[in-house]
Amino acid sequence: MRAHRIQSQYSNNTSNRGNMLRRRRLITMGQPLLKSATLALICLLMACAQQRSDEAMVEQARIGLDTALSQMPNLPEFVTVDTIAFQFSRTEHEQTCYYARGYLVLGASLQAAQALDLYVESLRLSGWDLDTRQYETSRLLSRGNNEWMEVRFGEPGVDIEAQIDYEQIQRTYNSVIFVRLDYVLPSVGNC
């Protein structure tokens, strides 16, 4: 009887020790799992925050572009045939730049060179600065830290040629002027 009790006590002790060991093992395994889960959650939250921040910057650039486009000269010699806008970002050397780019396709009643000069002069009067380097068929302008523009005549470039009927526009107007306006964040100088 006593021997049985001792045996029973021994098996209870063994069982308790087993349970304790299992519990300890669970705690030992559970702690890193908990830590890991917390870290994983932090990682996800950081990724989400980064994505939201990128989207906010791109949106901010788009708003800047919209404002700049709304302030473009409205001259009787020009008709806005099309406006094409898009935005994108680019990361190089750990720095991200955010771009909102707008193309204006303008049909003009003047000859190309005259139309270019008139339009650029009007931009200058509305606060745009001419770049020192100029070319036969294009003019480069900037305003403040975030805005950059090219005004030119010639062929449409690859970004817009599929979206406009250039031959039809050529047939309708004496000349066609293309404006490419970039709103850049954090700044033109850093990008």
Partner 1 sequence: MPSRVSGRMPRACCICALVITQSGRDGSSRRTLGKVILVAPCPTINGCMCMQIHLTGQITAGVAPNPGPGIGNIHVSTARIVSSYFSDEYSQCLELQLNLHDASDTAIVTRLTDDDNSIRVIAATVRQLADYRFGSNGQPLTSSHANLAAWTITDAVAIWHGYRYGVPDVSFRGQGFRSLDNFQNRTVSLEELLNTIVIGTGAYESASNSVPIFEQYFQQR
Q: Which residues bind partner 1 (CB under 8 A)?
A: 31-33, 35-37, 39-44, 46-47, 51, 54, 58, 86-93, 95-97, 99, 101, 131, 133, 135-138, 140, 148, 150, 152, 154-159, 180, 190-191
- Nearer to partner 1 among residue 1 and residue 94 (C-beta): 94
- Nearer to partner 1 among residue 20 and residue 41 (C-beta): 41
Q: Compute the half-sphere exposure of residue 112: CA atoms within 13 Å on the CB side of its CA.
A: 15
- Nearer to partner 1 among residue 17 and residue 52 (C-beta): 52
Q: Residue 141 Cβ, how far from partner 1 at the closest point, in Å? A: 10
- Nearer to partner 1 among residue 92 and residue 167 (C-beta): 92
Q: Residue 27 Cβ, how far from partner 1 at the closest point, in Å? A: 12
